[in-house]
Every structure is written in structure tokens, then in C-alpha cells.
Structure 1
């Protein structure tokens, strides 16, 4: 699982559909941090969601489930993962506090039915053992951004695995700093960390393949970003590296959103 927002989206969708127990969701969240706290971004949202104001509440897992249950009571309402980045704000409600917070952290969850009011939830790491979830109001839930479907995402990930490996080879051949270890070992370590996070049994096999491929590409790209064999990179080298990796990171985000969306949609159909 690539992010706490993805974990909550997949597992809470499964729970809302009756395919998973509440404890399953909470156990999955605890893989990210043993303590989860929840707070509202403003007083009105605190009143609507029955959260304390100001401040936060401990015991975040059950609180999140209660909020999500209430926010998805209408037909057509659900959870949608967003993974924004500078220059890529697909799926975000423009000009909102939620959009700014999600863009800053690179992740978030949109809750509700498109065209109606809803909520946005953003997690922030507050320490090695604490994850804070902030609930934001969304006046009008936007439609899903222009992300790819599963077929296109799977093909894109097959291509990205090859392109990411090529990018790592090209970057590693340029002497730009002190290496901090064997790239293969660092990639394996990153993938092993992802392996500690599980998916519901109802997860479609194709979505799982895409998520696994996206994790592999992301691990390679993370190593490529940090790889610096001999000295600090020049501005030109850094710019070339960014231009090389940016489209691959965009493909990873698109694939993850497509796969997580498919998990949520599949769960609601079962």
C-alpha cells in the first residue's frame, strides 16, 4: 500500500460494502502508525462531523469510520483517492482548504457524491507513532479527474517498469554525489516495506497487479532520485533528472488512483 489515504480508501470502501469488518480497517491503518488522531479544519465542519473544536480526538480509527459512514449514506456517495502533485491537481475541488492540504502532503480522500457537498480528509505524519487526519468541508464534490482506466494503467505500468530501470541506469552512470548503497538492495528494501500492507480479499486481481507494478516503479524512481555516486549534482543535472522522472511519477500516480478506484467500485458492486 503506497499511502495511508490509499489504505483508508480501499479498506473503508470494503467495510462500507459489508465485505470487511471495522477491525480490519483499523488494523490496516495501524500499519502506518499506532496512534491516529482526528480533527476538523473549522468549527462548522466540527459540528457537522461531531468532532471536538478546537483540537483533535484520539482513537482515530473508529472516529474515521463513523464520519465515513455518515458521509456516504446517500446513493452515489463514496470514497475517492487523490494523489496531487505540483502541476497535477486532478480530482481536487479548486480553491479549497482541502485542495491546498492535499497538494502539500501529496494525498487525500474525497468523500461524497459528485455535484453535492461532501468532505475531504488529509493525513499528516505528526511523529514516528502519530498520524493526524484533518477533515475539510467540500461545497461541491468534483467528478473524478481525467485518470486512466485499468487497461491503460496496466499497459502504462509495464512500460514504466522498463523506463524506470533505464532511468536509474542513466542517472547512476552520472557521477553526482556519494552513493548510500547498492541500488538493487535499496529497491528491495522499499518493496519489502510496502509488503507489510495488505489489501481486502475482494480486491480485483488486475488492480493488485497494477498496484504491485506501481510500487515497483516508485521504488526504482525513489532510488533514482536519491542516487548520487560522487558529488553534488549541478543545476543542469538536477533539472535533467527531474525532467526524466516527472512523467514516470505521473504514470505511477495515475495507475494507483485507477487501481484504488477500481477496488472501491468493485467492492460496491459485490
Structure 2
């Protein structure tokens, strides 16, 4: 779904560009959890950022923003949404890349030399773990938002067909209501003024397709489908999940591009 990492990437970039206040960034993270804290993963990360490291009490996201400002006052954030076999946008081998792939999300601050990965550590608490990144890697591939949106729309049709062809609707006749309920349960993401309308539309479409994917993947072996049918379904849905990640990255990248280009007041 549109994630805490997407929220942080957009808002932190807007703040660094002078088009948002630090409190705006903190408020935008609130829908994702009641509380957020920050801790460096190791001594290298703590030294690079000035944030507390292992064994120390965690600090606040306000201090994370201060660390970004100190190290890269005019930098930008990059959303990463890696998955096994799809590591586009990652800086290369290292702890940040490994942990972001495990989590399925993260935010890289290339100019600051570190990245952060969110994880739920308790009910109502998200921890942003900070990892030093020595080399931010190549410039990520550019995907025009029009292309990402077009591909995502095509995948909506593919997802609907997959639900039918793979028998999900037959085995779970209430699947449409399940999808609608899943969308209602998702946190309502907040976005800055000036957010490109097309980027917002693509993010919403990505959430809708992701909800379909969740419903389609919800009946694993032991349920109505055989193991072989579940594998076939997973293979059929994998390109759709990839398209969702590509669309989200493209939408966030376009939002960052537009928001950082807004002249300071």
C-alpha cells in the first residue's frame, strides 16, 4: 500500500526544499502509527548521523529530520520498494539493502549517506532504523508517470481476469466486499499542497490493485486451491505486484520532482 516510506520520502523532500515545515512531516506520518521512534542500526550509522545507536534510548523523527538537514541540507529522498528479484533503486549490497528488501520498503537519502527502514516494533509504534550507506548507487531508472499509469491500468484488467481464471471469486464469493473493506482499513495518507494530481491518482490506483492482489493471494494451500494451483496463481500475479511497485516509485519520484521545484516563499 501507499506506505510510511512513501509519505516520508515526499514530505522530507518537500521540507528540505523549503515548501513544508518540519511539523508537517511529523503530522503526515501520524496515520501510519500512533508513535514513531528512530535508532541507528550500528555505530557507523550513529557516527554519521549523530543519532543514538545500539543500546541507547531511541530518539524522535524530529531528530531524524535534523540529521538529514545537517548532512544534506538541500538533498532529496528516494523511495525504495524492493522485493526478491527486484532491487531497483537500492544502493547495492549492504545492511540497508537487505533490511529494505525484507521490509519491502525504505527511504534512501543519497546525499546524506544513509537510509531508513520502518518496522512495527510494538502495537502503535513504528521504528525507523538508520543505516549508513557508503555509495548511493546508480541513478534509479526513470519511468514516465504516463507509462506507469498506463501499465497499471492494464494490470487492473489482468488482476480482474486473474481472480476469475484462478478461481478466487468462485471459492470466495464475497471477495469484492473483502477488497473494499481492505481499502477502508488502510491509513489515509496525507500529502503536501502542490502534490501532482496524476501522482495522487496513480497512488490511489496502486492501492486498489494492491488490495486485489491481497485478496487473490489470501487462499493459499490448505484452503480451496491445490498447491500447484496456488503456485500458478502466484506466477500470474507477480507481474501485477511489480507494476504496483513501479507505479508507486514513479508517482513518488514525480511528486518529489514537482515539490522541490516550487520556489521558496
CA distance in 1, matches of 2:169, 2:197: 39
Q: Which shows bigger deviation, 237-246 or 47-56?
A: 47-56
Task: Give, in angstroms, the shift of residue 65 of structure 1.
Answer: 1.3
Q: Does the CA contact (< 8 Å) of 1:122 and 1:134 recur in 2?
A: yes
**Corresponding residue of 1:43:** 43
What SS does structure 1 have at the residue aligned with 2:121? strand
Q: What pairs with 1:137-216 in structure 2 (closer than 5 Å)?
A: 137-172=132-167, 179=172, 182-194=174-186, 196-216=188-208
Structure 1 residue 58, shift from structure 2 partner = 4.4
Is the CA contact 1:26–1:62 (under 8 Å) kept in the aligned structure 2? Answer: yes
Q: Is the 8 A contact 1:19 1:202 kept in 2?
A: no
Cα distance in 2, alignment partners of residues 232 and 183 from structure 1: 14
Q: Say if 1:207 and 1:262, in contact at 8 Å, map to a contact too.
A: yes
204-213 or 49-58: which moved more? 49-58
Q: Distance in 2 between matches of 1:215 and 1:171?
A: 21
Aligned partners of 2:6 and 2:165: how far apart in 1? 31
The correspondence for 1:100, drawn from 89, 98, 101, is: 98
- Report the CA distance shift for 1:105/1:6 in structure 2 as closer, same or farther (over 3 A): same
Whether 1:133 aligns to 2:128 is: yes
- C-alpha distance after superposition, 1:66-120 (max 9, x if no partner): 122223225xx3100000001001111222110000011000111023xxx7111
Q: TM-score, normalised by structure 1?
A: 0.89
Alignment check: 8 A CA contact 2:41 2:129 kept: yes
Question: SS at the partner of 1:78?
Answer: coil
1:231-242 correspondence runs (5 A): 231-242=223-234
Q: Give unpaired runs (5+ residues) of structure 2.
A: none
CA pair 147-55 structure 1, distance change in 2 beyond 3 A: farther
Moved more, 228-237 or 134-143: 228-237
Aligned twin of 1:84:
82
1:269 aligns with 2:261: yes
**Cα distance in structure 2, aligned partners of 1:187 and 1:265:** 32
- Distance in 2, matches of 1:31 and 1:97, equals 27
2:118 to 111, 123, 133: 123
Aligned residues: 262
Q: Is the 8 A contact 1:172 1:228 kept in 2?
A: no
Quickly say closer, same or farther: Cα 1:233–1:16, change in 2 above 3 A: same
| Counterpart selection for 1:251 from 226, 237, 243 | 243
Instruction: State the alpha-carbon separation in 2 of the partners of residues 17 and 109 from structure 1.
Output: 17
Are residue 11 (structure 1) and residue 11 (structure 2) matched?
yes
**TM-score of the pair, normalised by structure 2:** 0.91
Structure 2 residue 23 is the aligned partner of structure 1 residue 23: yes
